[in-house]
Structure 1
Amino acid sequence: MPRYQALRKRLAVNYIASWAATAVLALLSIRSLTLHLHAAESRYLAGILTAALLLSLLIGIYLIFRQVRPYRDIQLQVETGTGLQQAYDFLHTLPTYAFCRILYLHYICLSLPVVLLSTILGRLDLLHLSFIHTLYIVISLFFAAHLHAIIEFIMTTRAIRPYITAVKNKAKAIGALLTYTGKQFVSLGSTTGMRTTFIIIMYPSLLIFFITEVQQFYFSEIVMREYAGGLGVWLLLLGIGFSMFAAACLIKRDTLEAVEQDSQTKDGQIEPSTCHSAFYSMTEGFNRLSLELKERDELVKQLQDSYFCTLSAALDARDPYTAGHSMRVAEYSVMIGRKLGLAEEELDTLYKTALIHDIGKVGIPDMVLLKEGKLSEEEYLTIQRHPVLGESILQHVQPAQSIKPFLSGVRSHHERYDGKGYPDQLAGERIPLFGRIIAVADAFDAMTSDRPYRKGMKDEEAISILEQGRGTQWDPIIAGIFVDQYRCRPSCC
């Protein structure tokens, strides 16, 4: 609750300060436009303006309290860790509400009453203002209203900054992501911002132009010179100062926003700033795009993993005696890859390659693949075609670039280190690394798995064969790593 009360007080004080500055400027401007009026008429006009300004002040304070009131309930939720997104959105709407509130107050509580009451007093022959005077007064009030709205917008933005920071810190502590998608109301790059910039630049010039036009109509050249050297100069300086202050605040706000966003760029995401601006809209869009791309990449990875697992399961399903073979070979391969110091991305590729290393067997007839007895020479040659068939099958997968890393391992997993393997009789390190790794893992699982025509070997017997085949059938380093890792597994567990 203290935060709610402090925010309400800060916004009210800001409004009173900006209202006072605008009131002084408006009174001086209108006074300069109506120097020709008699004392009684000036008092009537001053009374109208004073009443209208006080009315706008009171209604403005009431509207501030009313607009901030929902934050009281939201703040209670924020303190308990809920309602963070609601508080984040609500705080970001306050500058826009402030901008609209000022404009509506000026139009309804200031411009409209001044015109109506001036017209009524004119009908009663108590105030003599021509149509052109009234028009100039309304235009002056219009420009003053927009300057007031700009300053109020910027001051409100600064006021909510610590509260937004508190909400962001709370969200970060619980791992929540806050996003704001509301409409940006004032920005130097928007249509409204262009209009705002025009008003800031033109206000002093137009104000002095209106006043000069009126004074030339009513007063002599001597009086005009006195005016130009007195009240006119001070009024012009005041208008220029007011405009420069608004412009400086607006430019500084967006410039600091750009610097802050630039300094907070990290991990492919830009930290949202503590106030909403054109730069915030841009970075918010960047963050959303970044998150969507990450989600899409994660989905693609899941689909790819599922695709490889499905291929592996479909292949193993053809032969109940080899069920789970591809999965075990993949696990053994990753174990070897880790000891070789492969990066996580390489290990992922190795795992998937091992899962589908026998994919070419889908092109081998069942009468050969599932034969329970010893294979004939011709049947053995048919079986030896499966690495090439596997590569050929995978080459049809699109996009080709995505499947390319898996091809060499699939094709070469039956090559021998001494060059007597198949299909290309590669030797030594000419055999792709994945092929050398999978060859060891595949051989061990094949030797220890049951077949229709024989029972699987014991693990130690298979390990002994791997040791004997180091440097001839298998890569000596890779086979040695597997043997060492497998033998130390029970003690490590």
Structure 2
Amino acid sequence: MPLFQTFQRKMLINYIIGSFIAVFGVGSMFIFHTLHLSSVEMGYLLIIMTVSVTIMLYSEFLLYHKHATPIRKVFFKQQRATEAELQLAYRTAHRFPVLTVQRILGPHLLGFSVPASLLAIVLIILGVVNLPLYYIGLAWCGAVLIALMHAMIEFFLTYRSIRPILQYLTTESQRNYGITLSIDQRNQLSMRAKLLGSAVFTALFPVLLFVLASQIRFAENGNQMLSNYWSWASLIVSVVLIVSLAGAILLFKNIQHPIEELQERFDNVYQGHFESMENLYDDEFSHLVNGFNHMVAGIKERDEKNDKLIESFFTVFAATLDARDPYTAGHSERVADYSVRIAKRAGFSSDQIEMLRKSALLHDIGKIGVRDHVLLKEGKLTEEEFSKIQEHPVIGYNILQQVGLPKDLLPVLPGVRSHHERFDGKGYPDQLSGENIPVFGRLMAVADAYDAMTSDRPYRKGMPEEKALTIIEEGSGTQWDPYFASLFLEEMNSSVSIREIAASKD
């Protein structure tokens, strides 16, 4: 696959860049410009380095092949990669910068330093190279520094190289399996760790390299300062370490605060709280905050439009029913109003009240599916005709299911289906009883019955409010939920008292 070949080419370029800077640049300069060597000794050291580098490169190739295998299998497999293979490749790709560090450090220290040390010891013992044996220990210190530098360079370069692979794996998993690939926190490397590690190493590396080079020069020149050198060098290294750590921590804190604030605001957006963020920054975070605020403004605008569309949806449905049955025009709005008043007395949350209102507006929408000669009949219905009317809660429930309501509007469905259930279990369509009836259905049943009793029909006049309230009181605990029935009676009696007081003042 061209994409995987491009990735491997980038990894090779990264390796050449890291090797050139760390090994052939800093490392060779450290060796050949610090030590006083004859041309013969320099030739032997070049041979040692050539042999050791060959072993190191072979070791690194083997490790790279092992690390890249899960990714390679996805690209070169003849059949479509399985979900598990895609997940493993995605996790491996995310870990590839860390795996690159392992691939650099292991072969550098074991494939390069061990053979080079053994060969150098043999040449020193044979007298071919005139160097003190303890220089091998110093060389190991230098090798560790060079390996760390090489690993750090490739670590950050690999982050850039792996992105197209991650994008490809994400697209494949979505297209083939409809899943979003993810990694757990164990496979994540925090920004704090990357920042602290790179800052401390960048500060210490030149100091430690200078300390090693100076020690070798002092030793070769027989400098009198050598006895006190390491105590002085340790103090310098400690000071540099403390300063670099403090600087890295302060820098991270400076970066951490806006990141955490942005993350908190994004969480708020996910929960539906669209609050803009004060822009108190004068660096790149200023652009991020401006972008976030533009995004929030766009979401708010879109959300308001969606709310208006949803309101129009409910209004159109209610108006459609009113147009179908003009004798019950306004019934859904009145039931919604009564239901909201009961819910407020019951202490429902504002979100619950809004869902209840929408459910009440649509509670009779199923009557659209009832034939005109039954729905619009002016006389008494036959048993067969009444059974057709009794189908409207299920018809309405099925209509709304087929519409494909968004998840946050699904709570309207139980009220539409259950508003004709009775508390004693003799209602319809499911003969539910007591608290087995959904709460919206129990509450709306009271409001629906009251409006039905007090509204005029072609074949009868609506009964007086007092009589309807008496019927609800008598049916409390049998036909209607006693709790919601009592709240409705309290609400209506309170409204009557307010009207009477207002009338007496007039």
Q: Give TM-score scaled by structure 1 length.
A: 0.49
Q: Give TM-score scaled by structure 2 length.
A: 0.48
Higher relative contact order (CA 8 A, sep 6+): 1
